[in-house]
A and B are shown apart, each in its own frame.
Chain A
Amino acid sequence: MFDFLEGYDLLGAFWVTVQLTLLSAVGSLIWGTMLAAMRVGPVPLMRGFGAAYVNIVRNIPLTVIILFTSLGLNQTLGITLGGGDDFDTINFRLAVLGLILYTSAFVCEAIRAGINTVPVGQAEAARAVGLNFTQVLTLIVLPQAFRAVVGPLANVLIALTKNTTVAAAIGVAEAALLMKEMIENEAQLLLIAAIFAFGFVCLTLPTGLILGWVGKKVAVKR
C-alpha cells in the first residue's frame, strides 16, 4: 500500500520544515519581545510604531507576505540576504524572514498579555527602588510575563509550524512542496495528504504536550 513512497525524501522535507520552524521561532521571539517592549514603553513614537506594525502585519495573509519577500524584495529590489545566486538558499532565507515578520506580531500580543498579568505594584516597587524603564522591564516584568505566557506562545509555535507550509509558495523544498509533487505523480490524493497530516501531528503534538507541562511548571502562583 505504501510502496509509492519509495524515491521520495520525506524525512528531508520535514527536516526543512523543522529548520524553518526553529529559525523563525527564535527570530520572532526576539523581534516579538522588542515589539512588546515598544508597545508598553514610555516613548509615544515607539508605542505608535508597535501598535501600527502589529495591526497591519497580523491582518495581512501570510501568503501575501511570503510572496512579497520573493517577488518584491528579491526580484524587484534585488535583495538576496547573502544567498548568492542560488534560488534554494535565497528562498529559504526569504521564507524565514517572512515568517518572522508575520509571527512576531502574534508573539508581541501574547507577551503583552503576559505583561498585563504582572501586578502593577511590581513595576511601581521596582521604580521606587530606582530602576529605570529598561531595568524594570528586563529584570522585573518580562521574567514574570514570560512565565505566564508559555501556553499562548506554544499555540503560536504550533501555528508557526503549520504556517511553514506557505513557504512552498516561493519554492522552499519543505513538506508541503513534496506533498504537491507526490500528489501530481502518484494520483493518491487522500493517502498522501493523510501521511503529511500525520507528519505534522508528530511535530506539533509533542510540542503542545511538552510546552503545556513546562507552562504549568513555571507559572507564577499568585
Chain B
Amino acid sequence: MKLRKVTAASAAVLALAVTATACGSDDKDSGGSSGGGKTITVGIKFDQPGIGQKTPQGYAGFDVDVATYVAKKLGYKADQIEWKESKSADRETMLQRGDVDFIAASYSINPEREKKVDFAGPYLLAHQDVLLRADDTKIKSPADLNKAKLCSVTGSTSAQNVKDKLAPNANLQKYPTYSACLSGLQNGAIDALTTDDSILAGYASQDQFKGKFKLGGLKMTNENYGIGVKKGSDLKAKINKALEDMVADGSWDAAVKKNFGPANYKSEPAPKIGDVKS
C-alpha cells in the first residue's frame, strides 16, 4: 500500500515535470522575424581566439564580426544582440529547441548536420592544417606527420581525420582544449597541433604567442563554415543576402584581416553562397 502511494506520487511529479518543460520550450520561438525593440539571440564559441571569444572587453572574433554584420542587415543593432555560448555538441539541439536564432560558431557544413539544421553560407573556407614551432623545419607535407607527435582536441573532426585518413601512423595526443596542446607544443613534448587553419591562426595571433608559432600551410581538408538556422527557417535566405553584401562592401576582407592578420594567414577568397567544397 505504501509502495503504491510512492509510485503514484512519483508518476505525478514526472507528469508535472514533462508538462512544465513542454510549456517552457514553446514561448521562446517567437523571436527573430522582426526588428524594433526586440533582441536577437546568436550562438557563438566563447573559447576560440580569432573565431569567437569572450573577453573582459566583450566578444571578439571573426564569427562575432560576421554575426554582428548579419544581425545589422536583419535590423538589429549591436546592443540588441544577445550572445550565447554554443559548444560543438550542443549546436543542433540549440537550434531545434529555438534557444538561439542562428549560430556562427566555426560550424562546418556536413551532410549529417544538414539533415538536422539548415545552413546559410558558407562564409569561410578553412582547411585542416598544423601549427608548428616557429623554428620547426621537419614537417613540410602531410606524409611527414606520420613520424610526428600530433595534438588535437578530443572527439573533434580534425582528430578523427588524422587517425582515419591523413596520417594513420601519427602519434596523436588528445586533450580537451587547444590551450593544453599549446603548452605541450611550447615545451617540445608535441611537434604539431592540428585543426582548422582559421582556429590555429586565431591562437597564433594571441599576444602571448606572437612569433612563437607558425602555420604549416598543408591544406589537408576543406571545412566550409556556415551559419546554422532552424530547419525550414526563413532566416536562411535573409542571412545569405547579408553575407553577399558583406563580401561586396569589403567588410568581409576587413574582418579577416583584423582577426587573422597577425598570424600571416593567407585566407581563401570569400566562398560563393551555396558553394560547399567537399
Contact = CB atoms under 8 A, between A and B. Distances in A.
B146 interface: no
A67 B180 contact: yes
Interface string A49-77: 00000000000000000010011001110
Interface in A162-187: 168-171, 177, 179-181, 183-187
Given A181-B155, A187-B92, A189-B92, A171 B174 contact: yes
B116 A180 contact: no
A85 interface: yes
A104 interface: no
Given A75-B190, A87-B149, A171-B154, 13 more contacts: A168-B174, A168-B176, A170-B173, A171-B172, A179-B155, A181-B159, A184-B88, A184-B160, A187-B113, A187-B115, A189-B89, A189-B90, A190-B93
Contact of B171 (A87, A168, A177): A87
A86 interface: yes
A24 interface: no
Interface residues of A, number: 25
Contact of B174 (A76, A86, A177): A177
Interface in B22-65: none
B112 interface: yes
B184 interface: yes
B156 interface: yes
21 contacts: A71-B183, A75-B183, A75-B187, A76-B189, A85-B171, A87-B172, A169-B176, A170-B174, A170-B175, A171-B154, A171-B174, A177-B155, A183-B89, A184-B157, A184-B160, A185-B112, A185-B157, A185-B160, A187-B112, A187-B113, A187-B116
B173 A171 contact: yes
A91 interface: yes
A169 B90 CA distance: 19
Interface residues of B, number: 28
A187 B113 CA distance: 6
Given A76-B187, A87-B149, A184 B171 contact: no
Contacts of B88: 184
B149 A184 contact: no
A116 B93 CA distance: 51
Interface in A185-211: 185-187, 189-190
The 9 closest A-B pairs by CB, nearest first: A180-B155, A171-B174, A75-B189, A181-B155, A87-B173, A183-B89, A187-B92, A187-B116, A184-B155
Contacts of A171: 154, 172-175
Nearest to A91: B173
Contacts, number: 66
Interface of A: 67, 70-71, 74-76, 85-87, 91, 168-171, 177, 179-181, 183-187, 189-190
Contacts of B173: 87, 91, 170-171
The winner among B88, B90, B174 for most chain A CB atoms within 10 A is: B174
A75 B171 contact: no
Contacts of B187: 75-76
A184 B89 contact: yes
Contacts of B190: 75
A1 to B, nearest CB: 14
A200 B177 CA distance: 25
Contacts of B112: 185-187
Contacts of A189: 89-90, 92-93
B156 A184 contact: yes
A169 B157 contact: no
A177 B92 CA distance: 20
Contacts of A180: 89, 154-155
Contacts of B92: 187, 189
A10 to B, nearest CB: 15
Contact of B180 (A71, A168, A177, A181): A71
Contacts of A168: 154, 174, 176
A2 to B, nearest CB: 15
A67 B175 CA distance: 9
Nearest to A166: B176
Nearest to A168: B154
A86 B184 CA distance: 15
Nearest to B91: A187
Nearest to B92: A187
A169 B160 contact: no
B160 A181 contact: yes
A70 B180 CA distance: 10
A76 B184 CA distance: 8
Contacts of A76: 187, 189
